[in-house]
Amino acid sequence: MSAIPVKGIIVAVCTVCIACVVDVSQAVCMHVFVLRDGQTVYGAMKKEKAGIRRTLLDMARDNGLGFNQIAAANPGLDPWVPPEDAEVMLPTIFVLPTNYPTSGIVVNLAEMRLYYFFNGEDGSARFATCPVGVGREGYATELGVYTIYTKAENPVWTVPPSVRAEDPAMPLKVGPGPDNPLGKYILRFSRLSYGIHGTNRPWGVGRRVSHGCIRLYAEDIAALYPMVPVGTLVRIIYEPVKVGWAVGRCWLQVFRDFENRIADPLSEALACIALCEEKTGPVYLDLQKIKRMLELKSGIPRPVARVQESKN
């Protein structure tokens, strides 16, 4: 286990490498961590120079992030032509979903991120996480609990009626290959024709672009596919406001509430911090920082409360 400074705060990190089974230059194949008691924040912030001929989308993929995360963390930067010397924030730090399971998959639509909880070969509890593309407006991925019903390599895409209605020239089926939007692997759900699959349009990861399915980068689905057995539970949730705890602090992470489900974001954040207090004990709040983060919606987790020291 190593300790990494994050804006003056130390976050304990346990990272497990997972091998890529496809050749994608520089790209990270999921982020994998060993779970620790009393900790729900993992990873660390990174910074990089934009460089020549590198878009924010390139940098996002190279670091296991979606477009939504890198764009929100770097407001004002042109995602396609960032200045060559621009310093780009890479939020490779993750707050676990509320009430995460001991096993199975959780997809947070508001965050556009997948978490897979599993046991390692040594029996240790772990999680893997990667960015995803989700259902677009009018085809929002439905919340709920599903199971992985079947798995397929080099799948055939049977074009849904909704897609053919938008483009009548589409064929009835598309076989394996570069034109197949399912990519090389798919984990099909038990209902609603949903699935977790690859994509031939990686720019859609971290965006609302699908007809309800969950899209992954090619390297992420290739890594996830052999790990997930048929029958695995999949929970689809919507949490634009997340709170976690690590090293005696509560951390807040805020994403855009694109479905306008949160009527009072401040009350939501304070309620989440109250749950955090059940784990950490009483805390001192930085209310102004909380309000700023709720306004910015940068997706960058930051500590907003610290545990009160005992006077005994």
Position 43 scores a pLDDT of 96
CA nearest neighbour of 277 among 303, 239, 308: 308
* 19-33, 114-128, 248-262: least confident range: 19-33
Number of H helices, E strands in the chain: 6, 23
Catalytic choice (213, 250, 272, 276): 213
When pLDDT is averaged across residues 109-127 and rounded to a whole number, the result is 96
Write down the mean pLDDT value for the chain.
87
Rounded to an integer, the average pLDDT of 154-176 is 78
Task: Determine the pLDDT at residue 310.
Answer: 55
The mean per-residue pLDDT over the stretch 104-133 comes to: 96
Count Cβ atoms below 10 Å from residue 207 Cβ, excluding itself: 19
Mean pLDDT of 108-134: 96
pLDDT tens, position by position, 193-246? 889 999 989 999 999 988 789 999 999 999 999 999 999 999 999 999 999 999
DSSP 51-93: -TT--HHHHHHHTT--HHHHHHHSTTS-SSS--TT-EEEE--E
Sorting pLDDT into bands at 50, 70 and 90, what band is 173?
confident
> CA-to-CA distance for 223 and 200, rounded, in angstroms?
16
Residue of 29, 130, 197, 276 marked catalytic: 197
Residue 213 is among the residues annotated as catalytic for this protein = yes
250 catalytic residue (yes or no) = no
- What's the CA angle centered on 182, arms 139 and 26, to 5 degrees? 110
Q: What pLDDT is stored for residue 28 in this prediction?
A: 61
Q: Which long-range contacts (CB under 8 A, 24 or more apart) does 263-266 make?
A: 265/240, 265/241, 265/294, 266/290, 266/291, 266/294
Confidence of residue 311 (pLDDT cuts 50, 70, 90): low
Q: Tell me how far apart the alpha carbons of residues 254 and 53 are, in angstroms, rounded to a whole number.
A: 30
For residue 54, name the pLDDT band (cuts at 50, 70, 90): confident
Q: Quick: pLDDT tens for 260-300.
A: 999 999 999 999 999 888 878 889 999 999 999 999 999 99
The predicted model scores a pTM of 0.89
At position 279, the amino acid (one-letter code) is K
All structural domains of the chain: 2-95 (3.10.350.10), 104-117+132-237 (2.40.440.10), 241-307 (no CATH)
Q: What is the pLDDT, as a whole number, of residue 172?
A: 75
Cα(109)–Cα(78) distance, rounded to whole angstroms?
24
- The string of pLDDT tens digits covering residues 70-95 is 999 999 999 998 998 899 999 999 99
Q: What is the C-alpha separation between 262 and 268, in angstroms, rounded?
A: 7
pLDDT at 210: 86
Q: What is the pLDDT of residue 27?
A: 53
| Closest to 195 measured CA to CA, from 136, 148, 155 | 148
Q: Which helix (H) or strand (E) holds 278?
A: helix 265-280
Interacting residues of 195 by C-beta distance below 8 A, sequence separation 6+: 182, 186, 187, 188, 189, 213, 214
Q: Could you report the per-residue pLDDT of 135-147, keeping only the tens digit for each?
A: 888 778 999 999 9
